[in-house]
Amino acid sequence: MKEIQLLETIEKYLEGKMTESEIAWFDDLRSKTPEIDQLVVEHKLFDSKLHQYANQLQFKNELQAIHNRLVEEGEIQDMDASSTKAKVIRLWNKYKRVTAIAASIASITALVIYSLVSFFAPVAKMNDLQQLSKKIDQVQRNQQMQGAKIREFDSKIPSGYTITAGGTAFLIDGKGYLITNAHVIKGSGAVVIDNKGNEYKAKIIRIDQDKDIALLKIDDSDYKKYNSLPYSISKSNLDLGTEIFTLGYPKDEIVYNMGYLSARNGYNGDTSNFQISLNANPGNSGGPVFNNRGEIVGIISTRQAQAEGVVFAVKAKKIFELLSDLKADDPTYANIKMPTYTTIKNDNRVTQLKKVEDYIYLVKSYNSN
Amino acid sequence: MGYFYLLLVLKLEALKPELGEQALLEKLANRDTNAIEAIYKENFKMARNFILSNNGDHDDAKDIFQEAMIVLYEKSRSENFTLTCQIKTFLYSVCRRLWLKKLQQSGQLTTLVEGMEETTGVEEDLELRQKENHDFAIMEKAMESLGEPCKSLLEAYYFEKKGMDEIAEQFGYTNADNAKNQKYKCMVRLKKIFFAQYNTGM
């Protein structure tokens, strides 16, 4: 208690809020009591460091905001656009013949490998891996349990349709574009529900079974667009031991989990996936895998049935591939723009979660009876 | 030939006295958003080109440039600050030094592709900045280990400059005095954690 009063006095002194007589009294006290003198010096240093910290933090945030604004306005570029077009053409002319030969060898090899892979691969996958989408019965059970709740009554699932699978999805564009797993979307349509329980109708834009990624678009007048997302999507590969975390809907409430990258590749060396060690449950499928900086690096998809804590995630790189395929097929989607900056890089985990949870949705896909 | 012409133009540009720059820096010192944005817009491309042509990616460019902006900001705030060169030259020199250092640290010892911009000595500024960065990291860590509600409470008081009445209401204290008491307790704890690190770090 006494310490607090002393501190209060020191602060008043340092901030220059004392009257002249008070200053004289306090200066006298300082010269007589070395302990207090020491405390004043110490506090002054601390105070300046604290203010410096606050100032820099605010300046850093401001810089980040300005950067994002300039990118959005198109004043500065946000991609590693290749500025070396001329070089590429030169190289092409030089290596045209070699490329032609290499391409024909490659296509033969590809055919051979494809036939081998399609012969061996699917058998193993079905037995050993467990997809983390919620199966029909489970979702139905959940539904019965909360049948009394109001939001089930005005569900946007059309009558005459039943839920076929459920999982997690996350926004990659504030306009309402969501990514989830292909195996979550078993049916003709889907609804997504945000962490506050609001339900939105969603259109299935594209399903890529090989990559196990599906792209949805919220198609609902109730949905309010976001101008920007707090996280970015990262193309780069991760190092072993990288800490990661995820948010998903193994139940009807958003659930957090954390772990680390345990292998660079997925099941049986599948290079489109990586292996992580964390607890995932049915319903986590389609959930984002974040690194500490708040960048999405993958999508949770399957877990190894016999082993605990062995979970596989699709590399985020595959989202870029899916989008470029889509844009090549249908130019109307050229306006999908993924966030390239994470604004939560310097936040602690609790703050990061608070900032991202609004952009992660529960998905239910449905089909006609 | 076009190249030499470009060089000449750049040289002339560099020599042209910039009347507005001192005023711009004064605004920067007061953290004026328009001034920061103007400097950012004017110079980011230069930093980006330099780093992209020297083995870096876009994120590197952003990190390095923003660090250079902080150096400029701190410099503009220092008491006896005078502008001895153009803002562009200063930022370029800082980016160049920082990036060279980063390349060396990561073991990549590729030779730098020289830009056409002039450089100026920035060693002193960078040394100062290194010390600041060090202190910043200690304070950041101390803040993190403080936990809630202390962290938010101190942030509300010192960063957002909220009054005690407002803080009491926001955090649910019955009156401003109780909030103030709590604030002091939090500050004493923060101070302890900070100095434990700061003193050993010296």
Q: How confident is the model at residue B11 (pLDDT cuts 50, 70, 90)?
A: very low
Q: Across the interface, do B41 and A46 touch by the CB < 8 Å criterion?
A: no
Which one-letter amino acid corresponds to residue A112?
A: V
pLDDT digits (tens, 9 = 90+) for B44-78: 988 888 888 877 888 889 999 999 999 888 888 88
Whether B144 and chain A come into contact, CB under 8 Å, resolves to: yes
- Greatest Cα pair distance in chain A: 94
Distance CA B102, CA B126 (A): 13
Contact check, Cβ <8 Å, A60/B41? no
Query: If you measure CA to CA, which chain B residue comes closest to A58?
Result: B159
Q: Is B119 exposed, middle or buried (0-12, 13-18, 19+ CB in 10 A)?
A: middle
pLDDT value of position A121: 58
**What is the reported pLDDT for A291?**
93
Asked if A51's CB is within 8 angstroms of B40's CB, the reply is no
Q: Answer yes or no: do B66 and A70 touch at CB < 8 A.
A: no
The answer to whether the peptide bond before residue B149 is cis (omega within 30 degrees of 0) is yes
pTM score, whole prediction: 0.45
Burial of A28 (0-12, 13-18, 19+ CB in 10 A): exposed
- Contact list, B185 vs chain A (CB under 8 Å): 4
A367 and A188 Cβ atoms separated by less than 8 Å: yes
Residue A237 to chain B, least CA–CA distance (Å): 15
Residues of B in contact with A77 (CB under 8 A): 48, 58
| Contacting B residues, span 69-128, partner chain A, CB-CB under 8 Å | 69-70, 73
Asked if B70's CB is within 8 angstroms of A60's CB, the reply is yes
On chain B, the residues whose CB falls within 8 A of the CB of A75 are 41
Continuous segment of H or E residues that includes residue B65 = helix B58-77
- Write down the pLDDT at residue B3: 54
* Predicted local distance difference test score (pLDDT) of residue B185: 86
| A3 vs B: CB within 8 A | yes
A6 to chain B: nearest residue by CA?
A: B184
Best mutation target among B71, B106, B178, B187 (most A Cβ atoms within 10 Å) is B187
pLDDT given for residue B9 in this prediction: 47
Q: How many CB pairs under 8 A join A and B?
A: 83
Rounded Cα–Cα distance for residues A135 and A186 (Å): 10
Separation between Cα atoms, residue B156 and residue B148, nearest integer Å: 12
Q: How far apart are CA A241 and CA A263, in angstroms?
A: 8
More confident residue, A211 or B120: A211
> What CA–CA distances, in Å, run from A367 to A162, A178, A180, A205?
6, 20, 17, 16
Closest CA to A361 of A167, A226, A203, A229: A167
In B107-173, where does DSSP find H-type helix?
123-146, 150-154, 164-171
Q: Does A144 touch chain B (CB under 8 A)?
A: no
Backbone angles phi, psi at A145, to 5 degrees: -60, -40
pLDDT of residue B133: 83
To which H or E segment does residue B27 belong? Answer: helix B19-29
Q: What is the pLDDT along chain A (369 residues), one digit of tens a residue?
A: 477 788 888 888 888 888 888 888 888 888 888 888 888 888 888 888 888 888 888 888 889 888 888 888 877 776 644 444 445 555 665 566 677 777 788 888 888 877 777 766 544 445 566 777 665 555 444 444 433 333 334 567 777 777 777 889 999 999 999 999 988 887 778 888 888 888 899 999 999 988 899 999 999 888 898 988 999 999 888 889 999 999 999 888 899 999 999 998 888 788 889 999 988 888 888 999 999 999 999 999 888 776 777 889 999 999 999 999 999 988 888 889 898 888 998 889 999 999 999 999 999 888 776
Interchain CB distance below 8 Å, B40 and A63? yes
Structure confidence at residue A244 (pLDDT) = 94
Global ipTM: 0.79
Three-class secondary structure assignment of chain A: CHHHHHHHHHHHHHCCCCCHHHHHHHHHHHHHCHHHHHHHHHHHHHHHHHHHHHHHHHHHHHHHHHHHHHHHCCCCCCCCCCCCHHHHHHHHHHHHHHHHHHHHHHHHHHHHHHHHHHHHHHHHHHHHEEECCECHHHHHHHHHHCCCCHHHHCCCCCCCEEEEEEEEEEEEECCCEEEECHHHCCCCEEEEECCCCCEEEEEEEEEECCCCEEEEEECCCCCCCCCCCCCEECCCCCCCCCEEEEEECCCCCCEEEEEEEEECCCHHHCCCEEEEECCCCCCCCCCEEEECCCEEEEEEEEEECCCCCEEEEEECHHHHHHHHHHHHHCHHHHHCCCCCCCCCCCCCHHHHHHHHHHHEEEEEEEEEC
Residues B195, A42: contact at Cβ < 8 Å? yes
pLDDT value, residue A179: 95
User: In this complex, which of B36, B69, B159 lies closest to A54 when CB atoms are compared?
Assistant: B159
Q: Tell me whether strands A295-304 and A129-131 are parallel, antiparallel or unpaired.
A: antiparallel
In terms of Cα–Cα distance, which of A332, A365, A218, A230 is closest to A290? A230
How many angstroms away from the CA of A100 is the closest CA of chain B? 30
Option in B66, B188, B198 nearest A63 (CB)? B66
Please report the pLDDT score of residue A205 as a whole number.
92
Q: Do B158 and A54 touch (CB under 8 A)?
A: yes
A78 vs B58: CB contact, 8 Å cut-off? yes
Nearest CA to CA, how far is A272 from chain B (Å)?
A: 23
- Rounded to an integer, what distance in angstroms lies between the CA atom of residue A169 and that of residue A151? 20
Interface of A with B in 99-128 (CB under 8 A): none
- Comparing A157 with B43, the larger pLDDT belongs to B43
Tokens of A158: 């059309």
- Cβ pair A56:B58 closer than 8 A: no
Task: Check if the beta carbon of residue A258 is closer than 8 Å to that of residue A340.
Answer: no
pLDDT of residue A153: 42
